Structure 1
């Protein structure tokens, strides 16, 4: 699942959510999802040079309305391009949402 929200002029927040049998798989899949969202957004808007920075996105659980604090799997993973939060899923052992801010 990928979500985008228009931010202030020249920037947009994007996120991608994925699950996995372990945290590493869920993190990797969610980071791939947010990178795909970035590429799709850039192509749709015909953007040239851009900057991508990490942004903590709201978790996007599949089977819940929200994620309780005790379900989060710490620590968050922050890279130069994304901020990933993970939690214990209902069906999958791990679910993660990665967020990024794209500016042009």
Structure 2
């Protein structure tokens, strides 16, 4: 069961990555979403997914700046996340802002966000 969960987590992490232009000024918003058995597991997965997205984004762009950005949660099984489902506190670093919530299938899901400019 644990290996099945790991495989689905990896697939969901990849599916949770997205890139959307912030504006025409050379910046984009990146997010990474992951699920886990507990908050620490989901948090590290979301931050790793975001770091991977930033590394992919950086290819061919040269120097970039990365700053934390609160991203909209990217739930897998519901339309949105109600306030009572969030697992506090949010985790904010210089390069990411992560929110976590109780999932439908997974115990915890997290989304990390960053703004990258070049």
The TM-score with structure 1 as length reference comes to: 0.95
Segments of 5+ residues of structure 2 without an aligned counterpart are 1-15
Higher RCO (C-alpha under 8 Å, 6+ residues apart):
1
Q: Deviations over 1:19-55 (max 9, x none)?
A: 0101011000000001111111122xx1111110000
Segments of 5+ residues of structure 1 without an aligned counterpart are none
Residue 43 of structure 2 aligns to a residue in which SS? helix
Take 1:3 and 1:58, find their aligned partners in 2: how far apart are those partners? Answer: 12
* Corresponding position: 1:102 with 2:116: yes
Q: Matched residue pairs, number? A: 102
Take 1:13 and 1:5, find their aligned partners in 2: how far apart are those partners? Answer: 6
Aligned to 1:48: 62
The TM-score with structure 2 as length reference comes to: 0.84
Q: Which has the larger radius of gyration?
A: 2
* Corresponding position: 1:37 with 2:82: no
Give RMSD over aligned pairs: 0.7
The structure in which a higher percent of residues are helix is 2
